[in-house]
């Protein structure tokens, strides 16, 4: 099995006719993902990449049977695009867009309450269930189908970890980039819960970074709600307080945001801490061999 996306996913690409949307939608198609439709306001009735393009998400869902959205909508309009996809009843939305205003995301979070939609991102590389479905911008060829889940705040580190795992012949069930913004649509706990419930995921790799308290919340869940082994790495041990490091959410504004505090919480919860990025793969291999 996998989480969020699989062989049954029929992807709707919002912003499919733009440069980024077109490029990555084609890469998803080449990987084997079923692209059911695209949405670009004003271009409804046309075709792009061999799929119909609609003016609205609701019309696209009704006519194409799409059940997930991949978004490449400019920051100023992305929140409206997310709201439109939620309103259309899509169960999964993957928003790649970076730079969405925080106030816009506050409104999105408010609208999401009580809805059956799972939002991944924004400012994320997406989701891939290797050999089944790719909904994002990651390079599909580095992935290998298997039983280790990956959830990460860092896109670049995700690619590095996946490459290590694949080189060791350790396949992945699903890899989820939750994004580096201060207000992501899904947290570590949200994704850990899905991996815990997935019968084919045997272990999980969690990649955190400085800023916020998501890693501490994940540690609480690992301690009390996770039965599967978790290997964790937290980036940013040498980051100076008060300086944003790459991601909008990667800024130390209190002691809880420090890498050392996050590592301590995860270790006390029972997660196995990888000593550095280059040893995440071998740490996972060791954990799998001992479990």
Which residues are known catalytic residues?
247
CB 161 within 8 A of CB 152: yes
3-state secondary structure of 144: coil
Q: Of 93, 120, 123, whose CA–CA distance to 9 is shortest?
A: 93
Q: Can you list the alpha helix ranges (DSSP code H) found in 67-206? A: 75-87, 102-112, 155-167, 188-197
**What's the count of helices (H) and strands (E) in the chain, helices before strands?**
9, 14
CB 53 within 8 A of CB 47: yes
Q: Is the dihedral of CA 200, 206, 207, 210 positive or negative?
A: positive
Return the ∠ at Cα 193 (arms to 228 and 137), rounded to 5°.
Answer: 100
């Amino acid at each position: 099995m996998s989480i969020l996306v699989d062989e049954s996913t029929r992807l709707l690409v919002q912003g499919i006719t733009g440069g980024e949307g077109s490029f990555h939608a084609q890469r998803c198609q080449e990987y084997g993902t079923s692209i059911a439709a695209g949405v670009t306001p004003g271009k409804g009735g046309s075709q792009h990449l061999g799929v119909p393009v609609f003016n609205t998400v609701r019309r696209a869902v009704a006519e194409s049977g799409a059940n997930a959205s991949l978004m490449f909508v400019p920051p100023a309009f992305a929140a409206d695009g997310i709201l439109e996809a939620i309103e259309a009843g899509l169960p999964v939305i993957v928003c790649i867009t970076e730079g969405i205003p925080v106030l816009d995301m506050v409104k999105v979070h408010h609208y999401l309450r009580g809805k059956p939609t799972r939002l991944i991102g924004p400012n994320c590389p997406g989701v891939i269930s290797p050999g089944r479905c790719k909904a994002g911008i990651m390079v599909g060829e580095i992935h290998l189908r298997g039983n280790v889940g990956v959830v990460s705040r860092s896109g670049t580190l995700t690619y590095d970890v996946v490459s290590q795992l694949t080189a060791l012949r350790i396949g992945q069930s699903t890899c989820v980039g939750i994004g580096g913004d201060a207000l992501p649509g899904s947290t570590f706990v949200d994704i850990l819960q899905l991996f815990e419930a997935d019968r084919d995921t045997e272990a999980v790799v969690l990649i955190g970074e400085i800023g916020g308290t998501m890693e501490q919340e994940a540690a609480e869940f690992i301690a009390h709600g996770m039965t599967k082994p978790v290997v964790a790495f937290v980036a940013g041990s040498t980051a100076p307080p008060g300086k944003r490091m790459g991601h909008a959410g990667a800024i130390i504004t209190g002691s809880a945001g420090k890498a050392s505090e996050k590592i301590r919480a995860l270790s006390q919860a029972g997660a196995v801490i990888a000593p550095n990025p280059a040893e995440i793969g071998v740490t996972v291999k060791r954990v799998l061999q001992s479990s």
